[in-house]
Amino acid sequence: MATVAADPEDLFAPEVIADPYAYFGRLRETDPIHWNPRAEMWIVTRHEDLVWLVRHHELFSSAVIRNDRRPPHPPIDVADRPLFEEVRAFRSDQLVESDRPPHQAMRNAVHEYFTPQAMEGWRPFVRAAVAELLDGGEPQGRMDVLEALAAPLPVRVITQMMGVPEEDREHLRHLADRLLYINRGEPDRMRFLMEGIEGMIEYVSPKVDERAERPGDDFISVLAQAEGEGVFTRHQVLVNTALLLFAGHETTMNLICNGTLAFLRHPEQWERLRADPEGAARLATEECLRYDPPVKSTQRIAAEDVERRGKTIRNGDRIRWIMAAANRDPRAFEDPDRFDIGRQPNPHVSFGAGIHYCLGASLARIEGQEVFRALAERFASLRLETEELSYQPSIQFRSLTSLPVAWD
Amino acid sequence: MARELHITVDHGVCMGNGQCVLLAPEVFRHNDDRQSEVVDPAGAPEDVVLQAAGYCPTGAITVVDAETGEVLFPR
């Protein structure tokens, strides 16, 4: 009996969403720079190629939203095309969507706020927030890691960084949920996204005026000061505050959920962490980042014609680089499919590389370390409550829809 | 007279963010792989070198007092 073959180029096929490692791993071994005609983009999967590509920012532009004139993929409702243009205008001002020279001035203005040592100062706040969130759920014997811990933690941290009151958290979490539609595939996603964008502009704009008058040590003050110095326009301040909320939210959620799941699937590594939660947390977090990264892939657009491995990438071609595949490249990692929380060195590319290397990497690391440490200290018998797990249909994010766990 | 510094960049850790090259171009430069390397440890004042080390998002840079061996970064 004949069966209908699934389209091997469908990046949103259920099996690709469920197991990106098998699909992109095959590409990495057979056609490491692959043209996907359906998505009209190059797929780059080897560690060496990915690092080369990202570090050559003059060849591969980050201004994809601004410069890519192809219609959105997957398609959106026709009636929402004007909304898409508004979203384009908004997102074009994101730091992550900019190239040098403007990128350099903008990055300089915010880089100091996020250095590893500056972020260490946030560890006590993160530790206390994790403890508070877990205290609430511990007597119940079960929780959805996503709802109880992974989603609220980054919102708490980011609202504190924005210097806004605790009672605004729920509102900001709602806006963050709406902003997450940036990377979804639903045809009506632009409406939800616009709701998040307009909500952020409305919420943040008066705060920027306040901080310009009376600066504090918060992130909005840093941006307001940069606006005063002419580095940022007001629009860029608003856009990049929204970016902080959005970028720090789903990524951290995924680090916490995917890392916890990796431990649940590898009991011997969980025992290893439990033997020394504080000492093991740092390298363990790096391995969680490598093994099942929060961001599977991201994109660039070629700024000139480039030859690589016998392929010609043309000026204007889109390129999607797959961290999830590069992190499992046997040329870069020994026994790459093994989850080994003592792995060292661990040159994973989960935070990217080059001039756009994740601004919030140090904060993400601290959040991961504090969460895995606290879970190991509290829940000796942590176990999965279901094998029925599913992921958001995103090409970019590796996002579980829930992670129910229990303990004795 | 400024003390002599010994500066190293760990290429197992450097991701080529380039902040050190921007801050202290006389001290750090990019190699062919776009990783940072030290070109002249005396190319900038010590406080600038330490700032560059602190700006590295991956902590790839170590700064040591060349005479005493005291680690100046990271502390």
75 residues of chain B, pLDDT tens digit each: 689 999 999 999 999 999 999 999 999 999 999 999 999 999 999 999 999 999 999 999 999 999 999 999 998
The mean per-residue pLDDT over the stretch A241-270 comes to 94
What residue ranges do the domains of chain A occupy? 16-406
Give the number of other CB atoms < 10 A from CB of residue A131: 14
A104 to chain B, any CB pair closer than 8 A? The answer is yes
pLDDT-based confidence at residue A246 (cuts at 50, 70, 90) = confident
The mean per-residue pLDDT over the stretch A105-134 comes to 95
A333 to chain B, any CB pair closer than 8 A? The answer is no
Contact A234, A244 (CB under 8 A): no
Cβ B55–A115 below 8 Å, yes or no?
yes
Q: So what's the pLDDT on residue A74?
A: 80
Give the helix/strand (H/E) hosting A179. helix A169-179
What's at A179, amino acid-wise? Answer: L
| CATH code of the domain occupying B5-73 | 3.30.70.20
Q: So what's the pLDDT on residue A5?
A: 54
pLDDT per residue over A31-46, tens digit each? 999 999 999 999 999 9
B12 to chain A, any CB pair closer than 8 A? The answer is yes
B19 to chain A, any CB pair closer than 8 A? The answer is yes
Q: So what's the pLDDT on residue A1?
A: 46
Contact A46, A28 (CB under 8 A): yes
B62 to chain A, any CB pair closer than 8 A? The answer is no
B33 to chain A, any CB pair closer than 8 A? The answer is yes
Q: Which residue of B has its CA nearest to A344?
A: B12
pTM for the predicted model, two decimal places? 0.95
Size of interface A-B (CB pairs under 8 A): 50
B55 to chain A, any CB pair closer than 8 A? The answer is yes
Phi, psi of B65 (to 5 degrees): -65, 115
Alpha carbon distance A375, A52 (integer Å): 37
Contacts of A354 in chain B (CB under 8 A): 15-18, 34
Cβ A357–B54 below 8 Å, yes or no?
no
pLDDT per residue over A51-67, tens digit each? 999 999 999 999 998 88
The mean per-residue pLDDT over the stretch A294-309 comes to 97
Q: So what's the pLDDT on residue A244?
A: 87
In Å, how far are A151, A154, A237, A246, A369 from A253, measured between CA atoms? 5, 7, 24, 11, 13
**Number of alpha carbons in the 13 Å side-chain half-sphere of residue B61:** 32
Distance from CA of B29 to the nearest CA of A (A): 14
Cβ A114–B57 below 8 Å, yes or no?
yes
Q: What percent of chain A has pLDDT over 90?
A: 81
The mean per-residue pLDDT over the stretch A312-326 comes to 97
pLDDT per residue over A179-235, tens digit each? 888 878 889 999 999 999 999 999 999 999 999 999 999 999 999 999 999 999 999
A361 to chain B, any CB pair closer than 8 A? The answer is yes
Residue B12, classed as helix, strand or coil, is: coil
- Choose among A266, A252, A255: nearest CA to A340: A266
Distance from CA of A5 to the nearest CA of B (A): 41
Q: Which residue of A has its CA nearest to B36?
A: A354
B43 to chain A, any CB pair closer than 8 A? The answer is no
pLDDT per residue over A134-152, tens digit each? 998 889 999 999 999 999 9
Q: Which of A52, A355, A358 sits opposite B18 (nearest CB)?
A: A355
Look up tokens 């590594």; give the residue. A269
| CATH code of the domain occupying A16-406 | 1.10.630.10
Write out A79-135 in H/E/C secondary structure: HHHHHHHHHHHHHCCCHHHCCCCHHHHHHHHHHHHHCHHHHHCCHHHHHHHHHHHHH
Alpha carbon distance A146, A21 (integer Å): 22
Q: Which of A117, A345, A352 sits opposite B54 (nearest CB)?
A: A117
Give the ipTM of the model, two decimals please: 0.94
